[in-house]
Amino acid sequence: MIDIKFTIEEHLLREDVKMPSPAKHFIPEWYKKSSNYVNQSCPHDVIEKYDGEVGYNMTIKKCMPVQDATTSGYLLYTTNDIIIINDKKEGKLNIQWPQTERNGVYIEQHGSNQFKNSEKLIDKSISKSYMLKFVNPWKISTSPGTSCYFTTPAYHDVPFEILPGIVDTDSYPLNVNFPFSIMIPEDRILIPKGTPFVHIYPFKRENWKMEVEKTDIKQTQQDFKNFKSVLSGWYRRFAHNKKRYD
């Protein structure tokens, strides 16, 4: 078993602070409320379209890759409300949170000189001058030989986008912080306390070697026939492997 550990300073270990959790314990509300079927009056994966032809009746909720992305890994949550206010008079953003001292998740800035050669990041930055960053109170440690991929919480409706990154959390001794981009609000944006702000996918480091070769047409045709021999759910039944994050 490979382990992941989250540690925090004792004075922050309050009952009102939402603890890190496996992502499967905090599924997006829209996803939970979604139907498995486009035509809800006919709860079958495939339905007859015309002249005996069949069509798929499944929504995104039946997609195993989406389900795996949503339920795999772990989530961290904001420890307090964070309000981002567009101060048009001063031409800047004001960022506020309830605490007078920095004792939870809060926000700092990264100057654009750190990414000045990336047009994409410059466009995503605030007034093309700086990027915001979640300061994270949790130290993340993993078993030897493992790392963590950090990104935006998968399929959660959050108003920000984490800049993806990989950290060797088996050896890095400090807390990892998370730069993010956000659309400048017309007035203000509230990021409520308990909002998932980063998705963590731990993985075992291995050496990879790429190969490029021609497709075996006969094998591809056989694979396609095999795939089409099942009306629906081929991937779930024959290719998918269960992932476990506790």
In this structure, is the dihedral angle defined by the CA atoms of residues 76, 145, 7 and 176, taken in order, positive or negative?
negative
Whose structure tokens read 């993806």?
164
Residue 80, strand partner residues:
none
Return the closest-CA partner of residue 70 out of 195, 151, 197, 155.
Answer: 155
pLDDT for res 50 = 46
- Kindly state the DSSP code that residue 237 receives in the 8-state scheme: I
Q: Parallel, antiparallel, or unpaired for β 92-96 and 21-22? A: unpaired
pLDDT for res 18 = 92
CB distance 84 to 189 below 8 Å: yes
Helix runs in the chain, H state only: 29-33, 64-71, 119-124, 217-228, 234
Return the closest-CA partner of residue 112 out of 130, 98, 127, 99.
Answer: 130
Per-residue pLDDT of the chain (246 residues; tens, 9 = 90+): 789 999 998 888 888 889 999 999 999 999 999 888 776 656 555 655 544 455 677 788 888 999 999 999 999 999 989 998 887 777 677 888 876 445 678 888 877 777 777 777 766 666 566 778 999 999 999 999 999 999 999 999 999 999 999 999 999 999 999 999 887 767 888 999 999 999 999 999 999 999 999 999 999 999 989 988 887 788 888 999 999 999
Alpha carbons 9 and 11: distance in angstroms, whole number:
6
Alpha carbons 134 and 139: distance in angstroms, whole number:
14
Element (H, E) at 130: strand 130-135
Alpha carbons 61 and 6: distance in angstroms, whole number:
30
Largest Cα span, the chain: 69
CB distance 147 to 131 below 8 Å: no
Alpha carbons 70 and 74: distance in angstroms, whole number:
10
Q: Hey, how many other C-beta atoms are within 10 angstroms of the C-beta on 3?
A: 9
Q: Tokens representing 5?
A: 């550990």
pLDDT for res 219 = 94
